[in-house]
Amino acid sequence: MKTKLLKSLNQYRAYVLVVVMFACGVFGKNFYTAYNIKAILDSTLLYAFLGVGFTLCMVAGHMDLSVAAMANLGAVLTMGFHTFSGMSWGPAMILAILAATLAGVINGVMISKAKIHSFIATLGMQFVLKGVMYIYSKGAEISDKGDFGFADILNKWLKPLPITPKILIMLVIVIVVAVLMRNTRFGRNIYMIGGNAETAWLAGIKSSRYTILIFAFSGACCALGGALFAIAQSSALPNMGEKGISPLLVALAATIIGGTDTNGGRGSVWNTFVAVLGLMVMSFVLSNIFGKFEVQILANGLILAICVFYETITAYYNNKKIGIRQPLLEQRQKELESAQ
């Protein structure tokens, strides 16, 4: 009973985090207001997009460390195309997303064709993209020069719901990807590639093609998140996330807390979003109570450590069980052989 409860708690830990942190709001001041809930949801925007990209790659057994750089690329290029080149927001966003998609394709080709480990390939891509952005923006912040029209639409509070259009867009993307992953052959194949590459190959799945597709999609998704984030705050900076809490680390933490297996084959985009929401609720609660970012970093780290620790312990005991059964199997085999 105890184990079952623990298993259930672990399985739905992202939800548990949201509920527990939300309940902790009673210790804060003015926590349960519509404005605050809207602010919490707003703060998930960038991390949720990054989480989707990161989760997809991790489910397929890879690690995309370039997600934050892709989002930055989307932000800087969208703002740059709009401000420097005079494009309207639509084409500027599309071009920026295409650029990030191309970077994702290069990531995919390096990993699937050149057999470079995803950790190395995406780390390298991260630096390349940073260099490109610094050259493009000359290291300076790019603003929308007072063109707040689109930003106002994205930031508009859709009362009485605690939601804004930018969060609606994000929710649609998360739900669509979650349905794709769960209910389509494409999605199931990604799980199979991550879970057991050999079986996937035997089943005739072209894992190279899937890897390229996943990284391209991850790039596009992150760039869209970055573009929306930049438009909403009317500026983009090539070194976003270099100081403070890196968006990459938040996406990674949310992916792990959301239950995605670091070895691939298991995970859910929706759960990652719920984990992002949980982390943001926690951030607001702790900031409300303590007013110190150090406590938030500590809590983030602790929750991540507990999740990883639990996974490791579980894996250890599972392996131990397999180990215990092995001699029994061997004994049984011997018995059968002697009986013959």
Partner 1 sequence: MKRIVALLLALMMLLSMAACGGQETTSENGSNTQEGGSTNAGGETSTEGGATEEGGETTPAGELPDYSTVMSTDNQPLFPEMVIKDFPERPEDPEALGEDEAGHWYDMEHAGWDAVKSSNLPTSPGDGPEGKEIYVIVHGDHPWTTAYTNGINKACETFGIDVTVLSPNWDVNLQNQQIDQAINAQPDAIILIPVNAESAVQQFRKITEAGIPAFGSNLLTTSAAMEYMIAWTGPDDWGQMRELAREMADAMNKEGGVCYLTHNPGGSAYFARMYGPRTELAEYAPNIKTLDFQSPGFDAAACKQVVSDWITKYGDELNAIFCADDSAQLIGTIDAIKEAGREDILVYAAGNSKTGQDYVKAGDVECINYQSAEGDAAAAVLTVAKWFNGEEVPPMAYMAPVMINAENVDSFYPCQW
Could you list the residues that contact partner 1 (CB under 8 A)? 8, 11-12, 15-16, 18-19, 22-23, 29-30, 32-39, 42-43, 46, 137-143, 145-146, 148, 151, 157, 159-160, 162, 229, 232-235, 237-238, 240-241, 243-245, 247, 280, 283-284, 287-288, 291-293, 297
3-state SS class at 157: coil
CB of residue 156 to partner 1, shortest distance in Å? 10
In the complex with partner 1, the residue whose CB is nearer, 10 or 208, is: 10
Place of tokens 């639509």: 90
Min dist CB 282 to partner 1, Å, is 11
Smaller CB distance to partner 1: residue 33 or 183?
A: 33
Distances (CA, A) of 230 to 18, 102, 159, 326: 27, 20, 23, 56
* C-beta of 164 vs 189, nearer to partner 1: 164
Kindly tell me the sign of the dihedral angle through the C-alpha atoms of 292, 270, 31, 307: negative
Residue among 43 and 189 whose Cβ is closer to partner 1: 43
Nearer to partner 1, 213 or 227 (CB): 227
Quick one: 81 or 284, whose CB is closer to partner 1?
284
For residue 151, the minimal CB distance to partner 1 (Å) is 7
* C-alpha gyration radius of the chain: 22
User: Do residues 241 and 72 touch, judged by C-beta distance below 8 A?
Assistant: yes
- 119 versus 290: smaller Cβ distance to partner 1: 290
d(CA 43, CA 37): 10
Least distance from C-beta 176 to partner 1, angstroms? 19
SS3 151: helix
Question: How buried is 40 (Cβ within 10 angstroms: 0-12 exposed, 13-18 middle, 19+ buried)?
Answer: buried
Least Å distance, CB 237 to partner 1, is 6
CB of 285 to partner 1, least distance (A): 10
Buried b (16+ CB within 10 A) or exposed e, 120-134: ebbebbbeebbebbe
Tell me the β-bridge partners of 142: 236
CB of 81 to partner 1, least distance (A): 16
